[in-house]
Structure 1
Amino acid sequence: MKTSNGVASSLLLRLDSRSSTPLHEQLFEGLRARILSGALAPGLRIPSSRQLATELDVARSTVLQALDALIAEGYLVARAGSCTRVAPELPLLAADVPRSGTRSPSTRLRASRGPRLADAARALKSTSSGAPRLGAAPRAFRPGVPALDLFPTARWARTVSRVHARASMGLFDGGDPSGHAPLREAIASHVSASRGVRCVPEQVFITAGTQQAFDEVLRLALNPGDSVWIEDPGYPGSHRAVLAAGGRPVPIPVDGEGLDVSAGLARAPRARVALVAPSHQYPLGVTLSLSRRMALLQWAERTRAWILEDDYDSEFRHRGRPLTALQGLDEAGCVVYVGTFSKSMFPGLRLGFLVAPPSLVDVFCAARAAAPSPASTLEQAALAAFLADGHFARHLRRMRAAYRERGEALLDALRADCSGVLVPRPCDTGMQLRASLAAPLSDLRVRDEAARRGVEVAALSDYFLGRRRESGLVFGFGGVRPDALREGTRILARALEAARRR
């Protein structure tokens, strides 16, 4: 440690030769902090570089480097033939820098409230962050993670390599803002056959995932303050997307038949958008009944509202054919259908799509005109080839069988290890299930106890915006092998017991 009892000491300067921060940086920060705190008054004479170098026991070049930087940034002024002084008209910002000589960006921030936030930003800050993420997948029981261990990695790699090797200049140029034409064609063909979606390729727009699709639709549909029906409990990303677009989220209860349309009509009859997952609601896993589907479509047609259909994982119906999409029943052109490949392929593939009603195609084209391609054109071309070659359809068939096996394994394990405390609800679609807490336990407490033991499970309470009507847990099983699921339920049983004792 280099210190001084002379002029440098009077300036409260301390340099640490053992620090990883260079000495000239330490001196720069030390003088800067003293100037901004007001300890070195405007116009005060600074000792000569020779004096400082002698007393601090450093090379004069070190001192000159620090002084030159302070002069360049306006903290000091130097006149030819005269001494160096603190800038005479420097505004004092007492809390601007720390008293120490470090340059940590986080500690240099002022202890103030910062710039004023918009109402939507303040609301976003208050949204629940949900279950803590405990590390990389696969992990019991993180929701939303597909079976990465079963993905045909080698086949995908060969497809990508072939597309890259044969890529034309058009693929390197950025591509069509609406998306790669062969991929739009492949998606239109796929969703028409598998989901009952009625569309042509011109209605398909490629997105960088579900959230970008939500953002794009809501920004075209909403004026500031417009009401949006969102499911309660529901996917937190829906709530965030509405807030980010300046809308007012209106939580609408979900029961065994899905979104309660009559409650929506009572709470916000003139809402501009209804954001729903009719085929497999998250997190409850229910399906919107036919009577409510028709009521929702009639409301949208009557009020000229938009329906944003989130079809995130209904490809994975464990038995029988996937349910027909709500969009397939829409005669008035009110439904925008949104799909993603993050769940059906792998999360790192940030590719999704939306299907716009015919009357809105021109609007979406205009919105995209000045925008870059939403995702890598080479990745889009690879995915188009993967679909066209039949690999995607084969992968989906394999995943349906795997998720049925893993879902049943989780149900058996929960009944064996957590009976009497948890009541699991069987699921027939997707990669997660929920379980109600039979005992009077806080699901948030159980979630945290499980996290302490390395198990990641979501609390149902985190998905409610309005009054919490049920306490329970949400389990993801898609990315976890059956043996690991059983080990996870044994750990969870210990977490449940610990939560009961607290």
Structure 2
Amino acid sequence: MNPGWPFPCARSLPKRRRLRAEIARYLRQARGVACTPDEIVIAAGTQLLIQQLCCLFGLDGRAVAIEEPGYNGVRIVFQHLGFAVTPIPLEEDGIDVEALEASGARLVYITPSHQEPSGMVMPYAKRIRLLQWVARTGVYIVEDDYDGEFRYRGKPIPSLQGLDTEGRGVYLGTFSKSLLPSIRISYMVLPPALMDVWRERMSPYDQSASRIHQETLALFMKSGEWERHIRKMRTVYRKKHQAMLNALHAVMGGHIRIMGQDAGLSVTVEVYSDKTAEELTAAAASAGIRVYPTAPKWFRPPQNRLPAFQFGFGGLSVEEMDAGLRLLYEVWKPYMHSCI
């Protein structure tokens, strides 16, 4: 451990703080997140963390801005809790900051490191511009870094939370993508002002994440196995990512447009077809193939947009990818046309 490290040795910590100490140490090193263990909240999934966050702001119908399209699992939580959801369109490099400024929202939820579902990575310049707006207005920004460990092109970009100098950033992370979905452990880093409110309102609530899993994960991280695991999986997924791109180009070629090629565990594919996403999904299902359209990620689905799908590769072998895409192409071939 570095002599100047600000956190006490995990061995001397109470069990309930060990995992938070390891997460804080990892986030500072890997994502540039500035936090102490006492600013971290752990729960069994991102949706539960969003629920807690909503309770901090009050369930009074306030406006929350989200990306359009964006992660519908979080959007549904905001809607169920009575928040007024304001969809903000995307540009080629991320959320439209001018539209965001005009929305009047005081809370923003975004996925800047791998936009869900388009896959774009928000560049450093736009992150600074976004934080300048936050500094002027005092808005809170919720950054969901759900698979930030896996970036395949370009240099890593610091988290928004690490770049924020005003204490207005909330950082969300999860072990579901990088380790095991079934472990059900996600975490939230709160700025000091919100952490004070959380202690007042939420500390009486029972812990939702398994304490056994938390202790096991803390030991896994402290031993160094976590970082070795991440390095190994980053190499594995980089190869699978490239294999997916190669197979898509080889099999479907000019019939598709690929987005989100820099990070994450999926790529988004627009299909040049006059059929709707629902019709193509049904055609694939008739051949025993399950595909995942991006249509549910839209708050207000646009008319006449190309059908789009997310193709995941994390749990597939290269051979399974190739065989699956070739079968899918045979099913969709009658409905596809060239982009030229």
Settle same-fold status: TM greater than 0.5: yes
3-state SS of paired residue (1:184): helix
- Deviation, 1:442, is 2.0
| Corresponding residue number in structure 2 for 1:262 | 98
Alignment of 1:438-477 (within 5 A): 438-468=272-302, 469-477=305-313
The whole-number CA distance in structure 1 between the counterparts of 2:137 and 2:80 is: 24
Deviation digits for residues 207-265 of structure 1, max 9, x if unmatched?
11111111111221244221111111111112112112210111111121111111122
The whole-number CA distance in structure 2 between the counterparts of 1:350 and 1:466 is: 30
The whole-number CA distance in structure 1 between the counterparts of 2:201 and 2:184 is: 20
Alignment of 1:85-484 (within 5 A): 180-266=16-102, 268-269=103-104, 271-319=105-153, 322-425=156-259, 427-468=261-302, 469-484=305-320
The whole-number CA distance in structure 2 between the counterparts of 1:464 and 1:319 is: 27
The whole-number CA distance in structure 1 between the counterparts of 2:89 and 2:67 is: 6
Structure 1, gaps ≥5 residues long: 1-169, 172-179
| Corresponding residue number in structure 2 for 1:493 | 329
The whole-number CA distance in structure 1 between the counterparts of 2:260 and 2:70 is: 19
Identity of aligned residues (%): 36
- Deviation, 1:495, is 2.2
| Corresponding residue number in structure 1 for 2:11 | none
Q: Check the 8 A contact 2:52/2:202 in 1, yes or no.
A: no
**Residue correspondences, number:** 322
Tell me which amino acid in the other structure corresponds to 1:253.
P
3-state SS of paired residue (2:89): strand
Tell me which amino acid in the other structure corresponds to 2:121.
T
Q: TM-score, normalized by length of structure 1?
A: 0.61
The whole-number CA distance in structure 2 between the counterparts of 1:396 and 1:205 is: 22
Structure 2, gaps ≥5 residues long: 1-13
Tell me which amino acid in the other structure corresponds to 2:220.
F
User: CA separation of 1:429/1:371 partners in 2, compared to 1, >3 Å: closer, same or farther?
Assistant: same
Tell me which amino acid in the other structure corresponds to 2:25.
S
Q: Which deviates more, 355-364 or 305-314? A: 355-364
3-state SS of paired residue (2:300): coil
The whole-number CA distance in structure 2 between the counterparts of 1:470 and 1:245 is: 32
| Corresponding residue number in structure 2 for 1:146 | none
Larger-gyration structure (1/2): 1
Q: Check the 8 A contact 2:273/2:335 in 1, yes or no.
A: no
